[in-house]
Structure 1
Amino acid sequence: MEMENLRQLHNAMQRIGANMQQFPYRVNNAEFDCLFVANQKPFLLCLTSRGLSPLFLKFKVDAETFEIPNRIDDDGYKLLAKLLRTDGSSGNKLIPKEFLAGLDSTIPTVARHRQVPAEDVIRLRPDITEHRNRPYFDTWIYWTEREGASSENQAKTLALMGEDALHHSLEFKCSSKWSATPTGREWKTIPMRRQTSSEMS
């Protein structure tokens, strides 16, 4: 289905130079923290439920049409149905298209901030698995003794810094190094230098 409000939000983001937006969504008794990611293609719409055992859902969004698949994988479907209490036992059934339509109707169409803090991106993206306690970019590690960054490191680079940073990592066979405390560093301004793997720690 086409996510029309999400398209309008993206248009508003472009006007202020933003590539991510965070917003809440509440349905039935469930509350979600949502993250719309537009620094990679396809775009991503991530939902993380609030509570002790968060449910994480990630949808790919076509960057041109803003179409999103009308399906949720089996495990996610069962967990979402349980969370929403729409497992069919009460006569209600979870219909992904209706769930996504309800979500789109509540998505804000005004961009509220230029950046989402790195620590919030990590919190809302449990699919980022490398050094989750280190959300701040530090420097690049240029490899000579191996092929380059691990797949987990590449995923983190893409999620936090976007496609251009990932292309840099792939082209120059380097890994992004991260810090637990803010560094204020931008990946484009770090000079290229060779480092050893011991500097990863």
Structure 2
Amino acid sequence: MELNNLKFLYKDMKIKNIDRSKFDFLFKAAQFKCLFLIDKSPFKLILAARGKNFYLEFEVKDGFKVNPYIEKEKYYQLCEILDLKRDDNNKFSPKAFLSQVNDRVPHNISNKSRVVPADIAPYRKIVEEENKVYFYKWVPHDGIISNVTSENLEKTRLLIGEEAYHTCKERNISSGWTDNPKYAYKLPRDIPKNG
């Protein structure tokens, strides 16, 4: 199925040079936190129910199409979260849910809609210092005494994005992280040119 409102969001993100955005929406009895990631193809749409242990991830392919399939167990969990009761006259389906998501996708985003690494961390398996999810600094290496590790590169890719991953790999730079939430809303500055 096509999520046509993602087209408008995508266009606004491209104009503003943002490759990861977030938005919230309320549907029935649940508040959803959503991430739309366009830094790698296929794009990703991530939905998590606030205050619940519930997460859905959809690949967004050419034409902003997604496969509306939701695993049976997750589908039942979604119905429970939405406080839906069985109704043969008004059946609820994953496609109906995604249609509701589509109706709530914003067409424009603000700087508050930018995704910071700590927004993504709960949805990714972080190997290196998993409790440190707030970006702190860039750490250039000399290639003799120190080098970037594959674990740090993977953390960079998962939390900051593909472009940062490739630059850090090419230039031997680590991303530095802290567990101090005062850095939660800071975005990584440009990666150092020399390193």
State the one-letter code of the partner of 1:46: I
Q: Residue 137 and residue 80 in structure 1: after superposition, are their counterparts in 2 closer, same or farther (change >3 A)?
A: same
Matching residue of 1:196: none
Residue 146 and residue 160 in structure 1: after superposition, are their counterparts in 2 closer, same or farther (change >3 A)?
Answer: closer
> Which runs of structure 2 are paired with 1:76-91 in the superposition (5 Å)?
76-86=74-84, 89-91=86-88
Q: Aligned pairs, how many?
A: 185
Write out per-residue CA displacement over residues 122-180 of structure 1, whole angstroms, 9 at most, x where no aligned residue: 3xx42243424332142347588999413xx4443123322122223455676533123
- Tell me what 2:93 maps to: 95
1:65–1:132 Cα change, 3 Å: farther
Looking at structure 1, the residues matched to 131 and 72 of structure 2 have their Cα atoms a distance apart, in angstroms, of: 27
| Residue 182 (structure 2) pairs with residue 179 (structure 1) | no
Q: Distance in 2 between matches of 1:18 and 1:27?
A: 26
1:149–1:175 Cα contact (<8 Å) kept = no
For 1:29-178, list aligned pairs within 5 A: 29-51=29-51, 53-62=52-61, 64-86=62-84, 89-91=86-88, 93-113=91-111, 115-122=114-121, 125-130=122-127, 131-140=130-139, 148-150=149-151, 153-171=152-170, 175-178=174-177
Correspondence for 1:189 among 175, 188, 192: 192
Q: 1:95 to 1:103 in 2, by over 3 A?
A: same
Whether contact under 8 Å (1:138, 1:179) holds in the other structure is: no
Q: Structure 1 residues 141, 96: CA separation in 2 closer, same or farther (over 3 Å shift)?
A: farther
Conserved? CA contact 1:141–1:177, under 8 Å:
no
User: Do the aligned residues in 2 keep the contact of 1:6 with 1:107 (CA within 8 Å)?
Assistant: yes
Question: Are residues 106 and 48 of structure 1, via their aligned partners in 2, closer, same or farther at CA, if it must alter by over 3 Å?
Answer: same
Q: Structure 1 residues 82, 173: closer, same or farther in 2, change over 3 A?
A: farther
Alpha-carbon deviations, 1:14-68, whole Å to 9, x = none?
A: 11222222211222111111111122222111111112x3311111112x32111
CA RMSD of aligned residues (A): 3.1
Q: Aligned letter for 1:186? A: R
Deviations 1:67-111 (A, max 9, x none): 11111234422321221234x645465411111111101111112
8 A Cα contact 1:148 1:170, kept in partner: no
Is residue 117–residue 160 contact of structure 2 (8 Å, CA) maintained in 1?
no
Contact 1:34 1:46 in 2 (8 A): yes
User: Larger deviation: 171-180 or 64-73?
Assistant: 171-180
Q: Which runs of 5+ in 2 are unaligned?
A: none
Change (3 A) 1:175 1:11: same
4+ long deviations beyond 6 Å? 143-147
Uncovered stretches (5+) of structure 1, i.e. residues with no partner: 193-201
Change over 3 Å in CA distance of 1:79–1:141 after alignment to 2: farther
